[in-house]
A and B are shown apart, each in its own frame.
Chain A
Amino acid sequence: MKPNPNHLYTIKDLRFSYPLEEQRVQALRDVTLTIEKGEFACLSGPSGSGKTTLLNILGLIESVQEGVVFFQDRELKALSEREKNRIRRYKIGFVFQSFQLFPVLRADENVEYFLTRQGIPRKERLKRVDEALDAVGLREHRAKRPLEMSGGQRQRVALARAIAKRPEVIIADEPTASLDQNTGRGIMEIFKRMNDEKRVTVIVSSHDPMVHAFAPRRLEMKDGFLC
């Protein structure tokens, strides 16, 4: 199987199960899907439908058990741990429902952290931090620590952190679930802008209709199947 070069992800017959006591729970069943570069897709479906599991596989967080998944032209099963780390570090930005910021670092330091890990020189890092914080409208809050910020501000810092990496894809798992509608809308607008202006591929999971409205492509999931 040779993936189309325009596809960021090529997925065929993907199956995934979790162990639960002595049994296994099937989280994904025969999922076949392609996601093009620059696409904005939203995974929707009820809790337990397999959205997070699929996102985790796309984010190289979970390993492929059965089926084939390509990230660009690389088959995930063939990647070493080191190669996966490298792809996650340089090509994928994550936004989680619970923000996952470092409480001991300031907003700008949170954004800068993974840039340091990418080996980017300080001057360039600071430029990117400024740009990312500008993009999410938090430049004036750069010196605040996460605990001094509201939920929406924290999620915007998390988004700035993902943007600053200049990834191929931003994977966001329920990014608005901890936020009120207005704040969530603000976050989604930033995602939309990033996708429109920077052509960053965005894959979001949510069961919120407000979020679905932002995504040109909606992928409905149910009981591990892609409907």
Chain B
Amino acid sequence: MLIRLAFRNLFRNPRRTATVVLTVAMGTGSLFIFDGFNAGIMNQYRENTVHSRYGHGQVNTNGYREKVFEKPWEHWMTNYPALQERLTRVPGVLYLFPRVEFFSLLTNGKITVSGRGQGVDGRAEAKFFTTLNVVDGMTLSDQEDGILLGLGLARALDTRIGDRVTVLANTIHGTMNAADLTVTGIFHTGSKDFDDVVFRIPLKQAQTVLDTERVESVAFGLNAVEDWTRVADVVRAEYPDLEATPFAVLDKVYYQNSVDWLGQQFAVIQLIILAIVLLGIFNTVSTSVLERKQEIGNLRANGESKGQIVLLLGWEGFALGVLGAVLGIVIAWMITAVFLRNGILMPPAPGLTRQFHVRIELQAAMALGSFIMGAAAAMVGTLLASFRVARMPIGEALRSI
């Protein structure tokens, strides 16, 4: 009977009920869309990180990343073909990207600058590293003598696409070696330290210059981020002298810190939305409850305790919350499907010079979370209002107009 009364009370003042339901719906819908946007931007950011430089992770010899060696190549992996044969069989692995890094001089005949070279499998990487921000020319691919320069390096050398550049480096035996290469593209990551020194050349060219068959690291292109666990497990189990590092650790400074920072920011915004919803509901419900002081006085006069008054109004709040939250989720879903189908156009992310669309990625778990938060906010708002009126002396409640 109490529940029946609570639910029927929702129809006493349809306009006010609609106001509360819409307030809850707006709050829940906002939280839902905001959650989806948050997931979208995080995913986009992750995809940018994975597909620009690091892949889903990489394998090196144990402890290699933490130490500085006089002769780093002594710690490089020696039998890449065997490693490749095994790791490509790990479920979820799509690509392996063997790499080497080395210090060198670059010259165009007039200007000589120092740089840090990366020898990469251009053909394989071109398919996967699609978000490397090439601002001029094209990324390294099939060109056997191609070189991709960081923007700062290209400016220092005053080179254009198609210009010839000579890379000078020590072989692992200590003698000088050189390769004449053609500039195929210029990239810009936004990190000046990186763009001013880094260049990429085909792995074979790098190994020839360095006079070695070894590879320094192997990056991975996976079907999904979740597949990394399997790669790490295989490496841990079968290659005790190697270690696998995920992209979030490799790019901790930019990626993980940004994710943590954004996550915290989103949590604060989420709290603000909840507070606004709570206040809106409290305000509307307070007015509605205070208008029923006489009725509540009558209930108390007939023996209802303060707790039962709170329970009665709590049921009303529950119904309003559930109704509003469901409506909010449906509306949010519709808005996303109709108006935000292509996502939201965002300004260039760190390291990029082009705008990009962030898709609103709505998931069932988010719907559940938003539903719970919206409905709980309605309940709390109603309960706060009901505590006020339940505490009122019965005589005062009955005398009120």
Residues of A at under 8 Å CB distance from B?
56, 59, 61-62, 81-82, 85-90, 94, 96, 98, 100, 102-105, 109, 112-114, 116-117, 165
Contact = CB atoms under 8 A, between A and B. Distances in A.
Interface string B227-271: 000000000000000000000000000000000000000000000
B294 A117 contact: no
B301 A117 contact: no
A82 B333 CA distance: 48
A87 B395 CA distance: 16
B302 A117 contact: yes
Contacts, number: 64
A81 B309 CA distance: 14
Nearest to A62: B395
B15 to A, nearest CB: 15
Contacts of A104: 5, 8-9, 11-12
B1 interface: yes
Given A61-B395, A113-B5, A85 B11 contact: no
Contacts of B308: 117
A74 B231 CA distance: 79
Contact of B5 (A85, A89, A96, A105): A105
Given A85-B304, A89-B303, A94-B302, 16 more contacts: A56-B394, A61-B398, A82-B305, A85-B305, A86-B303, A88-B302, A89-B304, A94-B298, A100-B295, A100-B298, A103-B12, A104-B8, A104-B11, A105-B8, A113-B1, A117-B1
B1 A56 contact: no
Contacts of A86: 303
B64 to A, nearest CB: 73
A109 B304 CA distance: 17
Contact of B298 (A85, A87, A96): A96
Contact of B1 (A89, A90, A112): A112
Contact of A88 (B295, B301, B393): B301
Given A103-B12, A104-B11, A114 B302 contact: yes
Nearest to A104: B8
A85 B300 CA distance: 8
A61 B394 contact: yes
Given A104-B11, A104-B12, A117 B5 contact: no
A90 B303 contact: yes
Interface string B279-308: 000000000000000110110111111001
Contacts of A103: 12
**Nearest 4 CB-CB pairings of A with B:** A89-B303, A104-B8, A100-B298, A116-B1
Contacts of B303: 85-90, 114, 117
A6 to B, nearest CB: 25
A52 to B, nearest CB: 8
Contacts of B12: 103-104
Contacts of A90: 303
Interface string B107-139: 000000000000000000000000000000000
Nearest to B302: A114
Interface string B389-401: 0000111001000
Contact of A117 (B298, B304, B393, B394): B304
Contacts of B2: 116-117
